[in-house]
Structure 1
Amino acid sequence: MTTPNPPSDCPLCPRLAEFRHLNRAQFPGWHNAPVDNWGDAAPSLLIVGLAPGLRGANRTGRPFTGDYAGDLLYDTLKMYGLARGEYRADPDDGFELVDTMIVNSVRCVPPQNKPTGPEIATCRRFLIATLSANPQAKAYFALGRIAHDSLLSALGERRAAFPFSHGAEHRLSDGRVLIDSFHCSRYNTNTGRLTPEMFQSAVGKAVAVIRN
């Protein structure tokens, strides 16, 4: 039976395993392993990301910790009461999520931040196991199209029936709700594709679902 988190030396994706080994040699003090789910043990909201960033979660071992995407994500979650404490981009900062869990579609950092289709499909077993372990979840929040598509596949939904767009709210066949957002990456915010206000609005839709 697949567990929600892969082992620290997961061999399933040879390219990603090789990249991990290279990073361990170059940065021996970093996490350099699959990044586990993080957050509330029984969340109402599951946030689905893409993959660890090289100098973010791959370095720190905690999703979205250590790069700009985490600054925007965690500031927004705290604004809505879905996090508490002071986020300092350090896994030992005492920051906590409230009624929320973060899971990445791909658990290991990919070269150039671009996992391949087969790698996404191979790692999906851990997303499926996470979904199965959290039947109490009321809503999903997908950060980007890849996370959106992988989540729909994990749920057995037809992707064509739920097209991705920022701020879209989808009622799934199991009655739960999926909300989409552009990924909160520095690239998206620097280019103006995603503003903090746009991101806050999308997160607000998820908050409304889980609190109703």
Structure 2
Amino acid sequence: MMLESPLPQSEPPHDCPRCPRLVALRQECRAEFPGWWNAPVPAFGDPEARIAMIGLAPGKHGANRTGRPFTGDHAGVLLFETLAKFGLAEGQYEARPDDGLVLRDFIIVNSVKCLPPQNKPTPEEIRTCRPFLAQAVDMLPRARVFIALGQIAHQSAVKILGGKLPKARFAHMAEHRMPDGRMLIDSYHCSRYNQNTGRLTREMFEAVFARAVELVRA
């Protein structure tokens, strides 16, 4: 299923050549799993959103397989249940891109658009992909609150929003006001590992979104 990005002008080409290591992995996945998406994963959500979430990168059996962020892996279950609880998602999440799920006042973009080996992009890959993230954020004129999932997303978010990393240190539920007044809230990533080890609980994750909704609806 071909998915249309809500921010088409910010997306890399389907066969983006910029990161040799990620290109090689993409080609391996296409050979092994020809029915998967196996390409840069587009943004998902409402282009008029006031809340934007910045993730890390596609998971192999999630977004890299389905073509939609957080769709088809363990992390997506908690994420989309949380979005539904706070009125940011409508419809039933069924772990597939054609399930009809719609995000309201919320959009998801990733720091790195392609699947990295072991879910760990290199610093060079993060820098190489950052212009796509910056362009996506530039196309979100109403976004006032950003949620960064994890340290890498936090660093990319601070840089594209004009902040200073030494002053904006990552911590779960930390809030950072950017120079133009936009707010960044940090969260631990909703990965299976973080959930299984107890580093991130449902209550901790929901608190981030409750705060984001409070900020935009105040």
Larger deviation: 53-62 or 127-136? 127-136
Superposition RMSD on alpha carbons, in Å? 1.0
Residues in 1 aligned to 2:67 and 2:159: alpha-carbon distance in whole angstroms: 26
Matched AA of 1:195: T
Residues in 2 aligned to 1:180 and 1:50: alpha-carbon distance in whole angstroms: 13
Kept after mapping to 1: 8 A contact 2:144/2:182? yes
Residues in 1 aligned to 2:204 and 2:161: alpha-carbon distance in whole angstroms: 26
Question: C-alpha displacement at 1:3, in angstroms?
Answer: 3.5
Are 1:204 and 2:197 an aligned pair?
no
Q: Tell me which of 145, 156, 159 is aligned to 2:165.
A: 159
Identity over aligned pairs, percent? 56
Are 1:128 and 2:105 an aligned pair?
no
Kept after mapping to 2: 8 A contact 1:139/1:178? yes
Q: Tell me which of 37, 42, 45 is aligned to 1:39.
A: 45
| Runs of at least 5 residues in structure 2 that lack an aligned partner in the other structure | 1-7
Partner of 2:83, secondary structure, is helix
Question: C-alpha displacement at 1:28, in angstroms?
Answer: 0.1
Q: Which residue of 2 aligns with 1:52?
A: 58
Paired residues for 1:1-212 under 5 Å: 3-212=9-218
Residues in 2 aligned to 1:180 and 1:163: alpha-carbon distance in whole angstroms: 9
List 4+ stretches of structure 1 deviating above 6 A: none
Name the count of aligned residue pairs: 211
Using structure 2 for the length normalisation, give the TM-score: 0.95
Cα offsets for 1:134-191 (capped at 9, x unmatched) = 1211100000011000111122321111111001111111101111100000100100
Matched AA of 2:159: S
Residues in 2 aligned to 1:21 and 1:174: alpha-carbon distance in whole angstroms: 41
| Runs of at least 5 residues in structure 1 that lack an aligned partner in the other structure | none
